C-alpha cells in the first residue's frame, strides 16, 4: 500500500518538473563532465561524445589506475561512482578493458558535482603517480 502511494508521489513530483527537463539537465551535466574529463591526460571516455546519443552516464578509464581504485579514492571525497563490468562483460572484452569507472548524473546533481569529479580524479592520478607522458 505505502509503496503504491510513494510511487504515485514520486511520479507526480517528476511530472511536475517535467521528464524532458530532467533528461535535458542530465545530458547537460554529462556533456560538461565529458568535456572536463577528456582534458585530463590519460583519461579515456567511452561512447559517443556528442549529445543526443547518450543518457546522463559517463564511462571512463584513467591510465593504468584500475577503476576500483578510482572508485575507492573518489569515495573518500564523497563522490560515489560505479566501477567494474556494469553487467556488460562482452562489451568490456570488445573495448579491451578490464573494467570502467562510471559517473551517473541526475536531477539532484549540479555543475559543482562535475567539478568535484574532475578534481578528485586528478587527485587519484597523483596518488598513483600517474604522470602524463
Partner 1 sequence: MDTSRPEPQLSALYQELILDHYRRPRNKGTLEDATHSVSLNNPLCGDEIDLQLRVDGDVIKEARFIGRGCSISQASASMMTQLLKERTVPQAIALAERMSAMMQGDDGAARDKTLGDLRALAGVSKFPVRIKCALLPWNALTDAMKAGRG
The string of DSSP codes covering 30-72 is HHHHHHHHTTSTTEEE-S--STTS--SEEEEEETTB-HHHHHH
Minimal distance in Å, beta carbon 133 to partner 1?
Answer: 15
Q: Which is nearer to partner 1, 92 or 116 (CB)?
A: 92
Q: 118 near 37, Cβ under 8 Å?
A: yes
Separation between Cα atoms, residue 85 and residue 102, nearest integer Å:
10
- The piece of 34-42, 46-54, 78-86, 107-115 that touches partner 1 (CB under 8 A) is 78-86
Residue 68 touching partner 1 (CB under 8 A): yes
Minimal distance in Å, beta carbon 3 to partner 1?
Answer: 28
Residue 113 touching partner 1 (CB under 8 A): no
Which phi and psi (to 5°) does residue 52 adopt? 90, -15
- In the list 3, 52, 78, 90, the residue contacting partner 1 (rule: CB under 8 A) is 78
Q: Which residues make beta-bridge pairs with 103?
A: 58
Any catalytic annotation for residue 87? Answer: yes
Residue 98 touching partner 1 (CB under 8 A): yes
- The C-alpha cell at 119 is 578534481
Q: Which is nearer to partner 1, 21 or 68 (CB)?
A: 68
CB atoms under 10 Å from CB of 46, counted, come to: 15
Exactly one of 4, 80, 87, 133 is catalytic; which is it?
Answer: 87
Instruction: Please name the residue that has the C-alpha cell 535535458.
Output: 24
Residues that bind partner 1 (CB under 8 A): 64-69, 72-73, 76, 78, 83-85, 89, 92, 98-99, 127-129
Active site residues: 87
Amino acid at each position: 500500500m505505502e509503496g503504491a502511494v510513494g510511487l504515485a508521489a514520486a511520479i507526480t513530483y517528476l511530472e511536475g518538473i517535467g521528464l524532458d527537463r530532467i533528461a535535458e539537465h542530465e545530458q547537460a551535466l554529462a556533456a560538461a563532465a565529458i568535456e572536463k574529463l577528456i582534458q585530463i591526460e590519460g583519461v579515456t571516455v567511452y561512447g559517443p561524445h556528442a549529445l543526443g546519443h547518450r543518457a546522463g552516464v559517463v564511462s571512463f578509464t584513467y591510465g593504468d589506475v584500475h577503476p576500483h581504485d578510482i572508485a575507492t579514492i573518489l569515495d573518500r571525497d564523497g563522490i560515489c561512482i560505479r566501477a567494474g563490468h556494469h553487467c556488460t562483460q562482452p562489451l568490456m572484452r570488445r573495448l579491451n578493458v578490464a573494467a570502467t569507472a562510471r559517473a551517473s548524473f541526475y536531477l539532484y546533481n549540479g555543475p559543482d558535482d562535475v567539478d568535484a569529479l574532475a578534481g578528485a580524479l586528478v587527485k587519484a592520478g597523483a596518488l598513483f603517480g600517474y604522470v602524463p607522458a
